Amino acid sequence: MKKSILVSACLLGLNTRYDGQTKECAAVLTFLLQHNLRPIPICPEQLGGLPTPRSACSFSRGDGEAALKGCGELRSTEGQILTQHFISGAQQSLKIALITGCTQALLKERSPSCGVCNVYQGTLKINGKGVTTALLSHHGIQVFSEENLTACRT
């Protein structure tokens, strides 16, 4: 049986991004095929109740780890505080991982939900995790991005 892996839906070619576009990644699709992995698409921001298209969001304080501890904050470009949507989307994504038996996740770098090594605070790129990456990591799920496919333990 193929091993299942959570994958950011936008990397698979689904139009889930804030601007209604996709970030389909040929390297990801090839990687999944080569490693005989069954992708389980997730978009934490949609799962958290945000519409598509939606306003771009970034951290106004902290990163995903901080958001889970209650001291981080996410805002839209219009200044609306949306932290709870991001936390809810992370919780729903974790549920999907548990239901489908995924122990790994391949997520989109720099996204406020899915970022693995970097996210944005306003327009500034910082070291930090997205909210979903942080929550999945707390539950022992290995998370790596499309920019570091070699980090996958297969």
Q: Are 37 and 101 in contact (CB under 8 A)?
A: no
Number of residues that bind ligand SF4 (CB under 6 A): 12
What does the alpha-carbon distance between residue 59 and residue 95 come to, in Å, rounded to a whole number?
24
Alpha-carbon dihedral 151, 61, 69, 97, rounded to 10 degrees:
-40
The nearer residue to ligand SF4, 43 or 87, going by C-beta atoms, is 43
Binding mask 83-122 for ligand SF4 (x = CB under 6 A): -------------------------x--x-xx--------
What does the alpha-carbon distance between residue 32 and residue 137 come to, in Å, rounded to a whole number?
21
By CB under 6 A, residue 62 contacts ligand SF4:
no
What does the alpha-carbon distance between residue 49 and residue 89 come to, in Å, rounded to a whole number?
7
The nearer residue to ligand SF4, 9 or 94, going by C-beta atoms, is 9
What does the alpha-carbon distance between residue 16 and residue 72 come to, in Å, rounded to a whole number?
24
By CB under 6 A, residue 45 contacts ligand SF4:
yes
**Closest approach of Cβ 140 to ligand SF4, in Å?**
20
**Closest approach of Cβ 121 to ligand SF4, in Å?**
17
Binding residues for ligand SF4, per CB under 6 A?
8-10, 16-17, 43-45, 108, 111, 113-114
